[in-house]
A and B are shown apart, each in its own frame.
Chain A
């Protein structure tokens, strides 16, 4: 299939991005480049210098809300993507309304507590909507430990499922980017499969 056909198909869909850090910003950029129609991006943080080792922001954007900065960066790549931003902290009660109408949701939080809240809320309150989890991306090297697993039609996990970030094992651009792009790749696969449904 030609890219123009892929792009026009992907343009019909809406994807939710829960968190605009290392996973969310890189995943959103990849989806925007492919031509996903609408991205709903939720985060409450501002861009800080320490984020620039892995997150898709620029030094002159420090101090900006991540959602605003990411919307700006996406518009510099693909003006046809509609970016809806929500500057808030997601929780069990607002997740269903923030991501209402999304065809797929990308779990892109840093803390595993929030990962759990997002996965449980979508699985229990938004039945049928696939969630793509990022789990395990700390450190460097070990390409062969990063994997993709389909749990079922509504739950997918990308990452090594074993490493946790710490001072001695920080998140770095390559492994974070690999997992973020694996998540984006999974979103594209799910949306492309809707061609034959």
Chain B
């Protein structure tokens, strides 16, 4: 399936994947992050149960300490 991840097209060998799986496949290890799928914020405790489907728009950003 193809999705949009931070405005770029990404392809995965599956018809859908969970947020946790996407993070694992992309090797995104930094834990302080915000994820939105199609404009909806996904809390960390929902990463295992939230599914990303074909055509979804996934936005991710890192929160770095300092201010």
Contact = CB atoms under 8 A, between A and B. Distances in A.
26 contacts: A21-B67, A109-B67, A110-B65, A111-B65, A112-B64, A116-B34, A116-B63, A119-B63, A120-B34, A124-B41, A133-B34, A133-B61, A135-B61, A135-B62, A135-B64, A137-B67, A138-B64, A151-B36, A151-B61, A152-B59, A160-B64, A162-B62, A163-B64, A164-B65, A165-B65, A171-B67
A111 B66 CA distance: 6
Chain B, interface SS category: loop
What class of interface size applies to chain A in its complex with B?
35 or more
Interface residues of B, number: 14
Given A164-B65, A165-B66, 13 more contacts: A21-B67, A22-B67, A23-B67, A24-B67, A115-B32, A119-B41, A124-B43, A135-B63, A136-B66, A138-B66, A154-B39, A155-B59, A163-B66
Interface string A100-133: 0000000011111101100110011000000001
B60 to A, nearest CB: 9
Contacts, number: 79
B64 A159 contact: yes
Contacts of A72: none
A16 interface: no
Nearest to A115: B63
A157 interface: yes
A149 interface: yes
Nearest to A154: B39
A155 B36 contact: yes
A174 B36 CA distance: 31
Contact of A123 (B41, B63, B65, B66): B41
B30 to A, nearest CB: 9
